[in-house]
Amino acid sequence: MKKNIIIGILILAALVGFLKRDLFFRAADQWTEQSKARQKEMLTIVLNTPATDLSPYSADFNNTIRTANFYEGLVAFDRNLKIVPALALSWGNLDAVTWEFKLRKEVVFHDRAPLSAHSVVQSFLDLKEHGDELQSYLQTIDEVTAADDFTVRITTKAPDPLLLSKLTKLAVARPDNIGTGPYKIQEWLKGETLSLTAFADYWGTAPAYKNVEYRAIENRTVRQREFENGKIDILASVPRAQALELPQERLKKQFGLEVNFLMFKLDDPLFGRRDVREAIRTLVDPAK
């Protein structure tokens, strides 16, 4: 069962960088041999909100939890929030505003089209045209070009030390929601379920589960009942209030990159007073 929850966390890797604290609720370690065999075929993950957009152009957290399974970028964050290779095997700076990325040569999209520098360029053009929610990650990029079939160059408008972090949010994809990730879309019943199946030609390590099903159950009582009845393997994004009621040994916590802060309008007569701002600060416990 320990292996089960680790795999589940990997499938939900998109949570890193979006939530301050993500909580996973897993079943107790009493599984029959039959249920263990079933788990290798199917992993069922339940959230409280359905996906609204499976395109690579959505920045909504609820959607990216799911799409991280079938879309990839040039680089990614690992579980320690360190930048690691994804579709780009290596990279470096040619000058202060020019980055060069060397692509993996063994990658194919889910429709079997090969990954190339030209497909990366087209993907960025599509993101610029359709990705309204992602414009904050694109605004420092001046140009994306193909130096050869497997070399991509990104020129920024000015030196951008945060470019690699931004690239983790920008997927390389083809039309019709076709990515390069370990899973591909099998069926999407909008508002209900998303079914994924392992991509046989994935360039990386094959996923441990052949199939993954995301379900959305908005009613908290129903979610917990179905989990206790063995119909759910992982409850994801459990609300803090509910998580605090659960046995701590059945929870998995993971921290992301979100930063919360207070901003005061200093030209306001009240908030312009330092003693008032300091008094408000004492009401906030940074540890919670």
Tell me the pLDDT tens digit for each residue of 91-139: 999 999 999 999 999 999 999 999 999 999 999 999 999 989 999 999 9
Q: What pLDDT, on the 0 to 100 scale, is given for residue 79?
A: 82
How far apart CA 204 and CA 181 sit, in angstroms, is: 9
Q: What pLDDT, on the 0 to 100 scale, is given for residue 20?
A: 28
Q: What pLDDT, on the 0 to 100 scale, is given for residue 33?
A: 45
Confidence label for 23 from pLDDT (cuts 50, 70 and 90): very low
Burial degree of 258 (CB within 10 A; 0-12, 13-18, 19+): exposed
**What is the average pLDDT score of the chain?**
83
What average pLDDT score do residues 24-52 get? 62
What average pLDDT score do residues 77-88 get? 92
Give the length of the chain. 288
pTM: 0.74
Amino acid type, 266: L
Q: Which pair of structure tokens corresponds to residue 176?
A: 């019709």
DSSP class of residue 250 equals: G
Percent pLDDT > 90 in the chain is 56
Each residue's pLDDT tens digit, 244-267: 776 677 677 666 666 666 778 888
Q: Which pair of structure tokens corresponds to residue 102?
A: 């060397």
Q: Is the pLDDT of residue 174 over 50?
A: yes
| Range from 103-112, 136-145, 168-177, 214-223 carrying the lowest mean pLDDT | 214-223
What is the DSSP annotation of 57-94?
T---HHHHHHHTTT-B-SEEE-TTS-EEESSEEEEEEE
Confidence label for 223 from pLDDT (cuts 50, 70 and 90): confident
Q: Is the pLDDT of residue 144 over 70?
A: yes
R_g of the chain, CA atoms, integer Å: 21
Q: What pLDDT, on the 0 to 100 scale, is given for residue 254?
A: 64
Q: What pLDDT, on the 0 to 100 scale, is given for residue 248?
A: 73
Maximum C-alpha span of the chain: 68
Q: What pLDDT, on the 0 to 100 scale, is given for residue 88?
A: 98
Q: What pLDDT, on the 0 to 100 scale, is given for residue 260?
A: 65
